[in-house]
Amino acid sequence: MKYAIILGNLGNTNDRFLSSGYKDQPSKEEMIKRAAAIEGVEGVELVGTWDITSENVEQVGGLLSKYNLKCASIIPDHFAQKRWGSGAFSSKDPAIRAQAVEETAKMAEAARALGCDLLSLWPGQDGYDYPLQADYRQERQWIEEGVRGLARSYPQTRFALEYKAKEPRTHSTLARVADTLLTVQETGRANVGVTIDTGHAYVAGEVVGESIVLAKRAGNKLIHMHFNDKNASWDDATIVGAVHSIAYIETLYWLDRTGYTGWLSMDQYPYREDGAAAIGESILWLNRFDEIMQPQRAEIDRLIALDDAIETSRFLRKAMLGA
């Protein structure tokens, strides 16, 4: 259990009704300090533009060293500037597409400088809002080409594509685990895979354990994991355990069984809560789910081979609730 946190989780939060934010924005050092103080956190994910640029790599590296944190990954900015508003990798404007690739390349360099070999790419603005607006074929092709080129140029860097069914577009191009795996395969590069965000998987109607297996079957393509929870069909990004319980036990089981060794990175959006406390809670829930699951690994293997819902119910009740 190697925990990380997306640094911005500790900063200000806002939405379209309150764009100035529900909180105040702490300094970068303050956020890194808070991250380091969360029990269990060993790494941080840095978001391009927000947390890291080509210009401040050294400064950020210094702060990470000071607080004894690793750079778990960089998430290049493909969503937080006006220029990406109608798409980054799949913009209909070739200049923007080139900038999306260039920005990613810069972050690959920055990551290398920070001793990190992982970029988690979330092309959040690549998608569409209206019917007959998108050339589904061309746009996916552009994403694939952009990523393939980067993966070729940076063979020591792993590129994990993060899917999400919607938001900020009404439909994202990389929407679900399996369409993302198809695109990963089309790149034909060993250093391209996927990031599974538990909340994004729930929004897509996926069972996370099954999504993990799909990535495994597609050539061991699970590179990175984001954790949070959600209600119904929106990316609420709440504390882990707020809604789902058994789902996390099953997720941890399949991560274990498929040999996942990457980060468990917290990706929440604590609009109104203290960020560090909210992240800390998630880690404690995950720890507890893991403590429940680990001693029962063999028993779960047996149950899964048995296919008896009553037996499974009995098991979960006792394992989870103690009776």
Q: How far is the CB of 12 from a second copy (least distance, A)?
A: 9
Q: How far is the CB of 298 from a second copy (least distance, A)?
A: 13
Which is nearer to a second copy, 63 or 230 (by Cβ)? Answer: 230
Cα separation, 315 vs 304, whole angstroms:
12
For 218, which DSSP code? T
CA neighbor of 122 nearest in space, from 141, 105, 100, 138: 100
CA neighbor of 177 nearest in space, from 146, 218, 136: 218
Q: How far is the CB of 255 from a second copy (least distance, A)?
A: 13
Which is nearer to a second copy, 21 or 62 (by Cβ)? Answer: 21
Q: Residues 169, 146, 161, CA angle at the centre, nearest 5°?
A: 55
Q: How far is the CB of 145 from a second copy (least distance, A)?
A: 13
Which is nearer to a second copy, 263 or 285 (by Cβ)? Answer: 285
Strand partners, 238: 229
Q: How far is the CB of 263 from a second copy (least distance, A)?
A: 22
Contact 73, 116 (CB under 8 A): yes
Residues in the chain: 323
Which is nearer to a second copy, 114 or 126 (by Cβ)? Answer: 126
Which is nearer to a second copy, 66 or 318 (by Cβ)? Answer: 318
Cα separation, 81 vs 285, whole angstroms:
34
